[in-house]
Amino acid sequence: MKISELFQTKSCVFSIECFPPKQTTQFAAMQQTLRRMKELSPDFISVTYGAGGSAGGVSTVEVADFLQKELGILPLAHMICMGSDKASAAQLLDKLRAAGVSNVLALRGDRTPLRPESPNFHHASDLMAFIRESAPDISVSGACYPEGHPEAPTLLQDVANLRHKQENGAQHLVTQLFFDNGHFYRFLNMARKAGITLPASAGVMPIVRRSQVERTVALSSASLPSEFTRMISRWQDDPESLHKAGIEYAVNQLRDLIEGGADGVHLYAMNDAAVAAEVYDGIRDLLPEA
């Protein structure tokens, strides 16, 4: 099934993101985590990019295969431009298709010393065009940024660039995480005015540990509203209270998005099934039944 088809039948699509473990010995534990996440009835689970192989770790294909065949959950497999070329991209697509995976999230990927620039895919839209031409049976999703991509000169220019993803075959969008819903509503309004008609899943990450503020939030480039910074300042030295406050913040954010008409909500759960379950309990009454 194509993920884009879910939005034709549901008022709000609920999804979760996971990432492959860095060690193969951790895969069994991750499988248990995913079994617990299945109990939350996600419409799909996205799997971030993991190469696996001789470098160690578990690949995106392995996780997607487990989700689909063992759990019966629709997977959205990430593919990135960085460190890839047409030959390796075609090989990965073959592996995904062999596993029965029919949905891919095409991304540029972060620039790191270990991943050289792609000779063929300078932007995610280039990879999307390649997938559309070489694997037309694969449904492609794309990323979007409610506050604008960090490298874009303006939000308006970033929205204009988003049209290239739609024109090159994207059928669904997933946003970068954000903490102020006003940014999402403004972005979506600009996108619709620019002719972007794709359904968009709004990405939310529960911040339940101080380390997440120092690492994840900083890397995301998301702005922090005063309500959020007050929460962190008040509870940063009280782990239990910060956990509760972080769950409450995420739940309130998601409830507002669902009630505000978001096409979908996407939970960046950081492979934490317990956190995902706490958040789900706070929004399940608003989600449409399967």
pLDDT of residue 71: 98
Choosing from 5, 17, 167, 248, the catalytic residue is 17
Alpha-carbon distance 280 to 37, whole Å? 10
Map 116-141 to HEC letters.
CCCCCCCCHHHHHHHHHHHCCCCEEE
pLDDT of residue 113: 79
Alpha-carbon distance 123 to 108, whole Å? 6
Segment 129-174, tens digit of pLDDT: 999 999 999 999 999 999 999 899 999 999 999 999 999 999 999 9
pLDDT of residue 216: 78
Q: What amino acid occupies position 1?
A: M
Segment 236-249, tens digit of pLDDT: 999 999 999 999 99
Structural domains in the chain, sorted by start:
3-286 (3.20.20.220)
Known catalytic residue at 289: no
pLDDT of residue 89: 97
pLDDT of residue 177: 96
- pTM for the complete prediction? 0.96
Query: Terminal CA-to-CA distance of the chain, rounded, Å?
Result: 15
Mean pLDDT, consecutive 10-residue stretches, the chain (290 aa), reads 96 97 94 98 96 76 97 98 96 95 95 86 97 96 95 94 96 97 98 98 96 78 92 94 98 98 97 98 92
